[in-house]
Amino acid sequence: MDSDSIFSFSTPQRTSEHIEVFPSPVLELVYSYYTLVKTPNYVRPTATVTALAMIAEHHRELIEQLRDFFIGRDAEQYCLPLFYLAAELGYAKDRGVERFIEDLLTLPERLPKETPSKMKDEEHYRTLEVGIEWLHSQTIEFQHSLTNLWGVLRPYWEREGRKAVLDACASFRTSFETNGDVLAALPAHHFSQFEAAAKEIQRSQERGIVVVIPLYFAEGGRGFNLALQESHFIGYGIEGESLFEQTKVDVGNVALCMKAFSDPTRLLLLHLIASYSKIPLSVGDLALQLGVSQPTVSGHLRLLRESNIVELDKRGNKAFHRVNTEMVKRVLTQLQEIVTR
């Protein structure tokens, strides 16, 4: 999970009566906008390719235009008002995004004047204040960017996103009605389960002000946590659990291959095979060079072959051990992706 894609801030809360769950095209748009401009080279290297990853891959020119708008600026600071305005002014419940984009010019002026000044976190208040001022001066550009992005998102949303989210809403309701616990109804591997967020959510549930937004365009444990005055919005990716399970498979495969690199003798064996790739080295040759027994070398070679790190290249009556360099590159790339994505 990438912490840069977890959006969180809070303001004082007032009591309400409802715990709600519903699709929100507006928050889907705002979250996608934030994620794409915040995350460079946004492509998920998993077996389960998500809609947002496909969009980032196939609409690179648009994504670059969105990012160019934020050159020299902190995307989080300037995207914050979009989340805040959509949630605080009721646009999150719209079935479409048109009203939000059309009204964007006047939204900063419609915010309750007392809301920002009552934020408990002074840093968040300054961030929101600066962001709203900049939004007010760049409204036309924001409108243009959001319109273009929704033009790309909309086919995915209408084709399968809305239905998938409605199914996720039904699943959440069933779970919540069964156990009466918002956290238990949320995905087990979402960041809302972390201690700090969980305590805040539990307090909001006691006040009956939780609003849950399953997100088609969010991934893994990503999402947002917006604790406002009268509502606490929690967004989570609907594919989070399946992506986590796929990541476990990916990690297991990489760990198995990384075992081939975990022994100094085995690494030196790989070095020798690569260095003398045109010479048919026997097990005895390799054992002599390494100063170990032939059974030890045979064991190492067997593991390397099972991991596809080393291959046998038969030429006539001779067999060459050859390092599969493409497999080595793939394993190292997968390792990098796992620990940095």
pLDDT by residue (tens digit) across 44-91?
444 445 788 888 888 888 888 888 877 767 777 778 888 888 988 899
Low-confidence stretches of the chain (pLDDT beneath 50)? 1-17, 43-48, 114, 116-120
Residues 6+ apart with CB under 8 A from 304: 260, 266, 269, 270, 310
The predicted pLDDT at position 124 comes to 63
Domain ranges for the chain: 3-238, 246-340
The predicted pLDDT at position 163 comes to 95
Q: CATH code for 246-340?
A: 1.10.10.10
Predicted confidence (pLDDT) per residue in 4-25, tens digit: 444 444 444 444 346 899 999 9
The predicted pLDDT at position 117 comes to 42
The predicted pLDDT at position 122 comes to 58
The predicted pLDDT at position 113 comes to 52
